Structure 1
């Protein structure tokens, strides 16, 4: 065949080399060697045969092989060069999770279903377990580049559902959240059902006003997939979604309506990728609709927030304490860990209280507690004389310490308090409600997530000023003599409405103290007690800034120290509106008992407002202004510690003045540099102590 690709001239040269005799070559008209006719016919035959072979090959090329779109997630067996990511082990594991590296069983005849004798589909002998292809996922994921999904920190929130019943429960919640325009809200369909996404939207009343971004994360042949293939598809679907979206949180329905296989796969995969997952329990859409008001940053902190409850019981408060504990048992802690409860018992515990505590169970039997861990701590003081102010303050502040001050907080409750069942999780109006009245939401978890972890709170550093969040509204000032009238605000129509407000005066009845401020208060009292002991040892009289008592002895002694810290730092406490307060907590002053350190000075009996008080009852916050959105701190009235209305710049000026008086009374601050006088969590700057 090599001679077929040689020219005539080369053939002549080749023949001359081998046959140099004269006349051995036939010359043509131009002196070139001529190929004998026999060889020419042979070459023509070979060329024709080769052309025929090429034609037959081209004519029979297969045309039913699709072109592979490499933008689309496509999985075949483990014979591919790039191995799949291994699935983490589940502990505990009620079912055996699949191994991503385990070879998949290929179908016998490609991806086509088997044919029956009549040419139709044959009955399925077993579920399909072939390669996984996401045929519609790539298009929607590549279209969300505007949501900054390629960054780890963004504003993406993902709802995911496998069951159509769960999708029907979650879609109204997702729609409401998307309409708030605080986050990019996505909805991933990961079911075995082959219902088109457009039909799913139509059936559930989802239109463009919902601002939802849908993702069809179902594999090919989802309806006939085996359980093992379905598990793999869910986990790989989350893996690819995370690569394009990096959701800050994933929200799923954890009720019986959702597939257990889907929930198991979601927990395993999301935990391995360190993505928070919020599992909404039974009937949660009607109880936790306030989460639609939160943004992505707040929702990402859902499981980080840890709240503990601290009760300091005074002697002879059996009836009060039992009533408080019963209201705690009736409270709703849906979708959250039940708070740890610490009860500080006095020296002499009455028989009725002791009998009730013997059978008291915490967490309550109705609470979801799969590990059966007890969350109750009882502390019984050793018998001794009545506590002094200093001892009582120290003992109280030693009862709690936040392991993570940024996320750990303490809810302080007086035995005289009775709580609403929805104090921890408020119930917002139905998702279809648009009624507006003059109420606000100040329940514990909603407020903590919004005012300490939202994007607005982080940007404006709201937590730097927030000392505490109160559940009740005091009827008097801190001196317990002058009545207190809460301020009002004005809405768009200029009508005065009941409003939450910021007050420099702290509270001790039903109030949550933030972990960061608790640490600072702990340090402040520590330095203060040390300074007083040194003054007593040296027989030096204490300055008036320490001895002047502005808080009534009807309140515990530590509240005076909290007020001093608030005045020196310019801190405030968030109080609910008058209408909301009655739906969160009430204080039963008709059975008032003085703190143990002041028991001998304060007569027993009720206070001026000692009439029997009951909770408002009914649904909390049925109708909220602006659909229940919490107002920003800059939208609330601001009060000085004595109840006077003020502005932020004036509050700061008062704080600078009071801190200067405090430092002057301590002495030695003149030698400190400006940087050493900056506020710090250790409170050293107020006591003029040099670091080191």
Structure 2
């Protein structure tokens, strides 16, 4: 500006120096010229000064200052793409870990963003750093720990989740965290106060909202949720994230959390409406169980019988009315006989599965109908093979099958009980440590009224019959078989049939010919009993009161298995009708709804005699030896030949010719 001003003055002087003087010019005229030029220069300088002042005072102030000491997340980047975090400190040293590598926490200036404009700048979390620094004692640096996270963007959803979070923390199985995300402007202390959360609630709170949350664009909020979960996962490694998936929660929140949970490999538990009552049992599970929430799958397998449309239709209607809000609706397979009666055919034309009321149907078509080709009555072997071939676990550790008799009716919350029990007894920390899954053949919904051979009534070993029990005898009325044990059952039946084909000219040894299971039950149950006796497996049975609230078996609808038609008793004892719906799962279980450990339950041998684990193992070893001798060729076995194998090779040997 100064140089511009002075460059004009020099140009004027040079022009005057080269012009010849006018002899007749008056002094007064000559003296007036410098004065005019000075006024002109002052006017130009004043104008330039005004322009500079206006430029400086109108610089934009709504652009935040970039702090380049730490990375700042830009909305256009994708938070779902994994990034390699810095090495986490070893918590066992007792030293405080270094500051998390989060965007810098800087004070929010009220005048740095327009109050009514939509802000879409870089995402910064002003409060998240301090709360993540405070949880280093929860072993958050380890991928496997006891951390469980509740998260919400909607204040209404937060009001539903907070009591559940406090209840879970009170169980003392997990470190429970709550993260507030999204665009609300409520203070965390105010959130606690309005929801009645006092110091007795041992939940760790995290403010994971971005700067300028109230003015942020919806897309910025969605990305901030994904980015917040990314940071939380790096420094907390929650085993599960629990959210409200009802209409109360913000759509952008669910979109963001689903995407990032999948990218981070975190179990996402989406609670439906009325979850505070229907799924209150979730608060009693530990972090290890919850980590398997959306990994396990349950199939349903029904073996229909000829001319028994009434019982099958009864069962399918009860399944349609059940509550499957605890997870994906199971795949349903119905094995139909060769002759399907008209009533069954007409009902299946309009039967919808998953049920129309299901909030999470998983897939539009989850029904498989298998119609048998051969006519005539099946043999025992044919019936067993056909039934066991109807299911195969895609992942033996996580895929399980619920076997239902057509005479059964299920309650509205039967699926909740199965998932609750499966998560606790197969995937909890106690189950993993103590090897519960290695012993558990199945989880029964039904408590039979007679022994397997039908010779006498069954009496629960507990006085009032309220306590659950472990029984070596399997069940075919309503039981969830684990995928691993189904694989073993498949191998056992396969090898049994192969063995029988090798001795067709001679009668079967009594060990194979004698039947311990009544012909009231299907033939495959005999094989399941052999597996339980040879391996020392057991089935978990509910107490009497709990069983009445889970399933009923209708004696008036009973039909003998097709392979035993005309041989079995016409009438099969059954339980009373299911109680009226309305009770929650925890209300139907004894005590406060907590599940007992296996060492707290009575243990019974297959014939109903009380035993302990040592005697059960001894009986299993003796039975396995008898099994090998009956098969033949097992007299001289090396120790490595006796190692238990899922393929059953340790039980079947080459026969001596």
Q: Is the CA contact 1:487–1:498 (under 8 Å) kept in the aligned structure 2?
A: no
Deviation at 1:208, TM superposition (A): 2.7
Q: Is the CA contact 1:160–1:190 (under 8 Å) kept in the aligned structure 2?
A: yes
Residue 123 of structure 2 is matched in structure 1 by: 132
Query: Which of 260, 275, 283 is matched with 2:274 structurally?
Result: 283
Residue 635 of structure 1 is matched in structure 2 by: 600
Higher mean alpha-carbon deviation, 666-675 vs 169-178, is at: 666-675
1:622 partner SS: helix
Distance in 1 (CA, whole Å) between partners of 2:574 and 2:438 is 36
Structure 1 gaps of 5+ residues are 1-64, 90-109, 116-120, 426-442, 490-495
Deviation at 1:369, TM superposition (A): 5.0
Deviation at 1:221, TM superposition (A): 2.1
2:344 partner SS: helix
1:354 partner SS: helix
2:443 partner SS: strand
Residue 19 of structure 1 is matched in structure 2 by: none
Deviation at 1:114, TM superposition (A): 5.2
The question of 1:528 aligning with 2:496 is answered yes
1:208 partner SS: coil
Deviation at 1:541, TM superposition (A): 2.7
The question of 1:582 aligning with 2:548 is answered yes
TM score, norm. by length of structure 2: 0.82
Residue 61 of structure 1 is matched in structure 2 by: none
2:165 partner SS: helix
Deviation at 1:331, TM superposition (A): 0.4
Q: Is the CA contact 2:132–2:232 (under 8 Å) kept in the aligned structure 1?
A: yes
Two-structure CA RMSD over aligned residues (Å): 2.4
The question of 1:483 aligning with 2:432 is answered no
Q: Deviations over 1:374-410 (max 9, x none)?
A: 1111111114221111111111111111111101111
The question of 1:143 aligning with 2:143 is answered no
Deviation at 1:617, TM superposition (A): 4.2
Query: Which of 615, 622, 625 is matched with 2:587 structurally?
Result: 622
1:670 partner SS: coil
Distance in 2 (CA, whole Å) between partners of 1:68 and 1:125 is 25
Structure 2 gaps of 5+ residues are 1-63, 83-106
Deviation at 1:520, TM superposition (A): 0.2
Residue 653 of structure 2 is matched in structure 1 by: 688
Pick closer, same or farther for the CA change 1:262–1:361 going to 2, 3 Å. same
Residue 405 of structure 2 is matched in structure 1 by: 414
Alignment of 1:282-431 (within 5 A): 282-368=273-359, 373-425=364-416
Deviation at 1:68, TM superposition (A): 7.3
Q: Is the CA contact 2:127–2:208 (under 8 Å) kept in the aligned structure 1?
A: yes
Q: Deviations over 1:297-344 (max 9, x none)?
A: 111101111100000011121110000000000000004111010111
1:469 partner SS: strand
Pick closer, same or farther for the CA change 1:221–1:394 going to 2, 3 Å. same
The question of 1:250 aligning with 2:250 is answered no
The question of 1:503 aligning with 2:471 is answered yes
Distance in 2 (CA, whole Å) between partners of 1:69 and 1:458 is 46
Q: Deviations over 1:578-601 (max 9, x none)?
A: 010000001001221000001032
2:137 partner SS: helix
Distance in 1 (CA, whole Å) between partners of 2:68 and 2:277 is 43
Query: Which of 436, 456, 464 is matched with 1:462 structurally?
Result: 436
Distance in 2 (CA, whole Å) between partners of 1:202 and 1:224 is 25
Distance in 2 (CA, whole Å) between partners of 1:459 and 1:88 is 34
Distance in 1 (CA, whole Å) between partners of 2:175 and 2:68 is 28
Residue 517 of structure 1 is matched in structure 2 by: 485
Structure 1 segments of 4+ aligned residues over 6 angstroms from their partners: 65-70
Alignment of 1:78-97 (within 5 A): 87=80
The question of 1:571 aligning with 2:537 is answered yes
Pick closer, same or farther for the CA change 1:252–1:111 going to 2, 3 Å. closer
Pick closer, same or farther for the CA change 1:630–1:268 going to 2, 3 Å. same
